[in-house]
Structure 1
Amino acid sequence: MVLFHSLLPLCGLLATCTAYVPLPPSDDAFYQPPYRYELERPESILRPRQLPKPFGINATIAKTHQLLYRSTDSQGKPNAVVTTVLVPPNAHPNKLLSLQNAYDSAFIDCPPSYQLYQPDSFIYEREIIELALQEGWYVSVPDFEGFTSAFTNGVQSGQAVLDSLRAVLRSRSITGLSSNARKVMAGGSGGALGSEWALELQATYSPELTIEGTLLTALTPNVSSVFETVEGTNSSSVIPLAMLGLSKQYPNLSRWISDNLQPLSAPGFLEANKVCGANLQPIFQTQQVSSKYFGRPNAFLDATPQSVLHSVGTMGLHGTPRSPIFSCKGEADELSPIADTDALINKYCDKGVTVQYLRVAKADHEIGGAYGFVAGFPWLKDRLNGVRLPAGCNITNITLPAGFPA
């Protein structure tokens, strides 16, 4: 679920480019949890470290911390996850944005904690991170897919986001953030996936948290529906990325993939375990993934993948959000049909969730997602400033303002 390629510059376009580059997670001992960490409660900080400023963020940053914290995967097993905490100068210790990056990868060396330091990486949400830092907010960017990169696993993602919030709120002696800070979340596309699942799971997984508001742009409520939509298109790489990501915590799906992959084409499919999502798109674009790699169309409709997709790839089944929502969706979204988002929003409205939902005429996945960040940022500011929000749902059909990139 790919966003905002055209909005962000590459280091390679600059004349000179020097930055601290850490070891990749696969080689960095920081990512490995300490002995018997599973005995710690979820949210516990297992290991902190301070790093130089990330290369990919242009705003002034006073300090950058990374926290390895204890969380729980979709099978109820303990896991260790990293979040990167960006602290601006003159930071407000009572304001926190949890920004879920759409890193969309099944390869373990692609999380934001590492990619923030890569000079040739796109950080799709860079502009909202910079705006938040300019406002004096703390910004936490969790590796919510977990160490193994369980892309599109909603339960893994949501629980990791919630535990990142709890861990950061416990980090005052490290970061200076107040344990009573007001909190908002934001994410687009794959980042909205992590944010939305956190909302669904909050009531049961971390009921003590209060989240003042959540920005969800370019939502992908149903991963199975996404598969059907992107098959044979420029976004078909989502299919191998998601299938392999889901298989990380579902051995039955891993076996199904092994049993059904065509031997001659299997290496090409498994390449998605070795390449970051943004770099994988040209490899798979326009491919009929099911037919090419599994020898038949609609293989993903088999019982095994559908059971996993229903369990951890379908939003709206695990709880009702307590947080107000600002959502934006392009009517011409070519990755995830707007009907899926309409249905999810209507369901939450019927259950009493406060929602502001913009349906953007003629906007595709990328443009609708980008506009959602622009339109939703003032709303996030109001939530952190304690501005009262009237209850209820407001669903509005809009057109892009003149001059907005299309």
Structure 2
Amino acid sequence: MRIALRDSATALLAALALALSPAIATPPPAALAQALMPAPDPDPFYWPTPDLGARANGDVLRSRPVDVSRFGNADGWQIAYRSTNSSGHPIAAVTTVLVPRGGVNRPLVSYQTIINSLGTRCGPSHTLFSGQLQEAPLINLMLLRGWAVALPDHLGPTSAYGAARLGGQIVLDGIRAAQRLPEARLWRSPVGVAGYSGGGMTSGWAGVLAPTYAPELNIVGIAQGGVPANLSELANGLGTAPHPLFGLGFAATLGLEREYPSSIPLASGLTAAGLALRDRITNACSQEIIDAGANHSAAEVSADPAQIHAPAVRAIFDDNSLMMYRGVPRAPMYAWHGRADQLAPLDSAAATVRNYCAAGLPVQFNVLPGDHGPASIEGLPGALGWLDGRFAGQPAPSNC
């Protein structure tokens, strides 16, 4: 779990360096190349239904029971549901819901796992059952508390790795779908949203979008840790030297291109080596991407040295930066961050918290002494205890 959390943040920062590198300077329209999409999941359960456009966000398209006996006395379902992408078009998304047996309207936590991948087979709806989900022990802890847990495939059907605002919408619609599934008996459950690093960023977006995108949801708390809050600011200070985790950064840029193809036309600026690496990892999961891209660099895969600070690219990162978003969550927040975080600097996260505090939101901000990886583990007990209080209806503490 430590490795996954560390890799996620490093991948995000490397992605930003690549995204602002010459490879994606906006070319003339004739030079644009289409983003390379992943192979569709071969399981028809994931496919959109013919009536997708006529359905409402969060509507259940189909569902099926799944065996979650390895997690104890719980029942599980996978739900395909309608959501919306960044262009306003309908998409079919999937979440996996685990519910402890007995009781009705158990507290529901939507937990956003870390997905450093481009393949449709790499989301938690697959890795939860293949043994590859490194955060599985945390799922056990939440179930033991009597909470139901939803694990959305928050990168969406094109595995748009890096598109955090899209992920926030998928999270909210996944909560709607879980509460609309009769068998889960979660109709009026209080809801918590949680995650760390990339999962924390997606959780933060779910929190700030909820008042307008899903105002009917009873979200009682948001627990987010290690959040990179200002993507453009981070990108300014990054270099392009060879890095062992370069593949993850390259993958994140490919994911953003899938979601914003007109603003991030990466393919048109790649060298032959860049195209080969892209083709190799188009359907890959995290470790495969790391192995393929190890010790490469943006300079190796970029073709055009001009327009290093493309405005269209900057706009995309600002649009996915929590610090830049003017909206404020309605639900109280628990945030934690490492004081010595070298991957997601504390200052931007603290500034985002100050924005929320100034708007009157109760925020408990826990600054831990360590770096990004250690803080991921050290902050979890406080986050779980804080969510316990929200589900119990206690007043939210604040150190604003």
Same-fold call, TM > 0.5?
A: yes
Q: CA shift at 1:285, angstroms?
A: 4.0
Shift in alpha-carbon separation, 1:267–1:315, aligned structure 2, 3 A: farther
1:240-259 alignment runs, 5 A limit:
240-254=250-264, 256-259=265-268
Shift in alpha-carbon separation, 1:126–1:149, aligned structure 2, 3 A: same
Please give the TM-score of this superposition, normalised by the length of structure 2: 0.84
Q: Distance in 2 between matches of 1:386 and 1:268?
A: 51
Number of residue pairs the alignment of both structures matches: 365
1:129-186 CA distance string (max 9 Å, x none): 1111111111111111111111221221111111111111111x22122x11111111
Q: CA shift at 1:367, angstroms?
A: 1.2
2:139 to 114, 129, 147: 129
Q: Distance in 2 between matches of 1:368 and 1:93?
A: 32
Q: Which residue of 1 aligns with 2:377?
A: 370
Could you tell me whether the CA contact under 8 Å between 1:220 and 1:336 is conserved in 2? yes
**One-letter amino acid of the counterpart of residue 93, structure 1:** N
Where in structure 1 are there 5+ consecutive unaligned residues? 8-23, 395-406
Q: CA shift at 1:63, angstroms?
A: 1.4
Verify: 1:358 aligned to 2:366, yes or no: yes
**One-letter amino acid of the counterpart of residue 126, structure 1:** A
1:41 to 46, 56, 80: 56
Q: CA shift at 1:75, angstroms?
A: 0.6
1:220-267 CA distance string (max 9 Å, x none): 11334454548544443342122111111212145x212211123321
Q: Distance in 2 between matches of 1:236 and 1:298?
A: 22
Q: Distance in 2 between matches of 1:323 and 1:298?
A: 44
Could you tell me whether the CA contact under 8 Å between 1:241 and 1:277 is conserved in 2? no
Q: Which residue of 2 aligns with 1:108?
A: 120
Shift in alpha-carbon separation, 1:110–1:25, aligned structure 2, 3 A: farther
Q: CA shift at 1:52, angstroms?
A: 1.4
Verify: 1:189 aligned to 2:190, yes or no: no
Could you tell me whether the CA contact under 8 Å between 1:231 and 1:287 is conserved in 2? no
Q: CA shift at 1:270, angstroms?
A: 4.2
Could you tell me whether the CA contact under 8 Å between 1:187 and 1:195 is conserved in 2? yes
Q: Which residue of 1 aligns with 2:285?
A: 276
Could you tell me whether the CA contact under 8 Å between 2:112 and 2:199 is conserved in 1? yes
Q: Distance in 1 between matches of 2:164 and 2:321?
A: 6
Could you tell me whether the CA contact under 8 Å between 2:368 and 2:375 is conserved in 1? yes
2:185 to 168, 172, 176: 176
**One-letter amino acid of the counterpart of residue 382, structure 1:** G
1:292-344 CA distance string (max 9 Å, x none): 11146797632332222222345441511111111111122232212221121
Could you tell me whether the CA contact under 8 Å between 1:73 and 1:155 is conserved in 2? no
Shift in alpha-carbon separation, 1:69–1:279, aligned structure 2, 3 A: same
Secondary structure at the aligned position of 1:87 is classed as: strand
**One-letter amino acid of the counterpart of residue 28, structure 1:** D
Verify: 1:239 aligned to 2:284, yes or no: no
**One-letter amino acid of the counterpart of residue 255, structure 2:** G
1:5 to 3, 6, 9: 3
Q: Distance in 1 between matches of 2:40 and 2:146?
A: 29
1:12-61 CA distance string (max 9 Å, x none): xxxxxxxxxxxx9611000012112110111100101011127xxx5304
Task: Return 377-386 or 260-269, whichever deviates more.
Answer: 260-269
Answer 1 or 2: which has greater helix percent.
2
Task: Return 297-306 or 321-330, whichever deviates more.
Answer: 297-306
Shift in alpha-carbon separation, 1:250–1:176, aligned structure 2, 3 A: same
2:330 to 310, 317, 322: 322
Q: Distance in 2 between matches of 1:216 and 1:132?
A: 15
Shift in alpha-carbon separation, 1:51–1:223, aligned structure 2, 3 A: same
Q: Which residue of 2 aligns with 1:393?
A: 399
1:302 to 298, 302, 310: 310
Shift in alpha-carbon separation, 1:300–1:225, aligned structure 2, 3 A: farther
Q: Which residue of 2 aligns with 1:343?
A: 351
Cα RMSD over matched residues? 2.4
Shift in alpha-carbon separation, 1:72–1:124, aligned structure 2, 3 A: same
Q: CA shift at 1:388, angstroms?
A: 1.9
Shift in alpha-carbon separation, 1:90–1:377, aligned structure 2, 3 A: same
Q: Distance in 1 between matches of 2:337 and 2:290?
A: 22
Where in structure 2 are there 5+ consecutive unaligned residues? 6-38
Q: Which residue of 2 aligns with 1:167?
A: 177
Shift in alpha-carbon separation, 1:302–1:238, aligned structure 2, 3 A: farther
Q: Distance in 2 between matches of 1:159 and 1:268?
A: 30
Q: Distance in 2 between matches of 1:26 and 1:223?
A: 30
